[in-house]
Amino acid sequence: MQKCERCTSPATVHITEVLGEGKFEEHHVCEQCYPKYLHDSADLGQGAKALTSDSGGSELEEALFGQQECPDCGIKFVDFRNNHRLGCSRDYDVFRNELIPLLENIHGETRHVGKTPRRYPQTKQAEAEMLQLRQRIKRAVDREDYEEAARLRDQIKTQEDV
Amino acid sequence: MNLDSLTQNSGEWLRAVGPEADIVISSRIRLARNLSSFPFTNRANTHQKAEIEQYLQGRLQKLDIDLQLDYFNLATITPLDRQLLVERQLVSRELANSEGPRGVAVGANEIVSVMINEEDHVRLQVIRSGFSMDEAWQEADRLDDKLEEKVPYAFSEELGYLTACPTNVGTGLRASVMLHLPALVLTKQIEKVFRALQKINLAVRGLYGEGSRASGDFYQISNQVTLGKSETTIINEIRDVIPQIIAYERQARQTLTRESRPLILDRVKRAFGVLKSAAMMTSEETMDLLSSVRLGVNLGLIDDINIVVVNQLFIHTQPAHLQKLLGRELDSEERNSERARFLRNRLSEMDSMN
């Protein structure tokens, strides 16, 4: 059996990177090294982006980008690189530029074609309202207005029960 | 449902019913879902995890379905009980070993389980005996619809169901089939099968999922791609490849009985003899010997024991099951001697019944 190119375990994941212009690159890694591989290939994706970027300050841009923080969950892309987990659903928007090449690598596609929740449009609205309510609770707690926080909490409860 | 009564039987996936049950142990569908208004589990604090758990548990109880779901709070049950649920494949090892508020809702017959606060807030699983991919998917899809009526999932039109790890995004679907492939292992053709599967983007794992060894010649085959393909396409890709593997395994079994019948008979009889008389038995060795016996039963080389009992022994000799059945905690050396005693007793019961 083929060995993992990063350690001595048997390679169980086989990847063909499409480099463009009919060029391909084969990689063979084990399950344990696969997340690391993904993480490194995300680096590559970013490198490619920096190369094609026409603004001269791409390096600076990239440095700034890696530092960008999700306003909801507070993670930076570098946190994702370290533990391979995103912090909340909004990260897919916030780190979109970094994630799309990664998704392309993993799945070979970047667009969902499967099931859609039947009540998706309503969900979206309710979801936005709920997020707003939760943020208002946080602000109320921050300014120690516990009465308001309790009121908002009850409001969430009734909405959730609908 | 309580965990002690659970221990006595073997659960749906080892019942040895369903199509091709001599080779296909079980078919499983897993869906990963998240609540839109909370951070993913790894980023949620204890308070938020408790909120997520309470919220989901409440919704699960109110589902409009004809299925009773029993909830196990993994933070409060004993480590032994957690291990028991892992051995029964109702809970992932990751969830059992993680921390904070978390749990699992389990349906009667153990066909359905819904993990809460795993890597994703919701991990819905349907596991059926034999080669029953479509039935498993229909049930998972129906439950997902019902839950979705009550719970706003994190979903984007572009990327589908949003998951903590980008490897699950899109459908959030992992479809897997567990196979018993002793003849392909014995004839050293198993690697060839793996390579062919990897070429078409399917993953091969051991009995207990990621990183586990394929003990007892059990292999799980599952999809890797979750984005850019519909659920039906993903399931069909797995479903279409399984009959070929079944055919290879059957061919290998025929070759073995035709060309090396005395050798294979000897292997099966020896395995049975050791299981019936050894004084110490590790879980690994038990799995390997039971695998030979299972092959022997399916080839008609041995009629001292039926397949349902063999399947049950696979699970009852696992560490947590053994300890629950004996009603006390055991260290690993005690386990090995108690396991051997348990096997001797069970198999001599079989003898006296014949």
At position B27, the amino acid (one-letter code) is: S
**Single-letter amino acid, residue A32:** Q
Of B211, B227, B252, the position where a domain reaches its end is: B252
**Angle B133-150/B231-259 helices, nearest 10 degrees?**
150
**What average pLDDT score do residues B237-264 get?**
95
Query: Percentage of chain B with pLDDT > 90?
Result: 79
A63-94 confidence digits (pLDDT tens): 555 678 999 999 999 999 988 999 999 999 99
**Closest CB from A74, A111, A119 relative to B228:** A111
**Domain end marker among B210, B233, B252:** B252
Q: Are B100 and B226 members of one domain?
A: yes
| Cα–Cα dist B300/A59, whole Å | 69
A111, B20, B48, B128, B260 from B111: Cα distances, Å: 31, 18, 29, 6, 39
Domain identity same for B279 and B218: no
Instruction: Count how many domains chain B has.
Output: 2
**Domain harbouring B240, CATH code:** 3.30.590.10
> B156 forms bridges with which residues in the sheet?
B160
Cβ of B142 under 8 Å from any chain A Cβ? Answer: no
Taking the C-alpha atoms of residue A15 and residue A29, their distance in angstroms, rounded to an integer, is 8
Report CB contact under 8 Å: B228, A87. no
Average pLDDT value for chain A:
76
Q: Is the whole-model pTM more than 0.90?
A: no
Q: How confident is the model at residue A16 (pLDDT cuts 50, 70, 90)?
A: low
Q: Using alpha carbons only, how large is chain B's radius of gyration in Å?
A: 21
As to burial, measured by CB atoms within 10 angstroms (0-12 exposed, 13-18 middle, 19+ buried), residue B331 is exposed
List of chain A residues whose C-beta atoms are within 8 Å of the C-beta of residue B124: none
Taking the Cβ of residue B45 and every Cβ of chain A, the question of whether any pair is shorter than 8 Å is answered with no
Report yes or no: B150 at the A interface, CB cutoff 8 Å: no
Split at pLDDT 50, 70, 90, the class of A57 is very low
* Boundary of a domain, candidates B252, B285, B304: B252
The answer, yes or no, to whether residue A55 has pLDDT greater than 50, is no
Is A127 in contact with B227 (Cβ distance < 8 A)? no
State the Cα–Cα distance between residues A33 and A38, nearest whole angstrom.
9
ipTM: 0.88
Do residues B19 and B99 both lie within one domain? yes
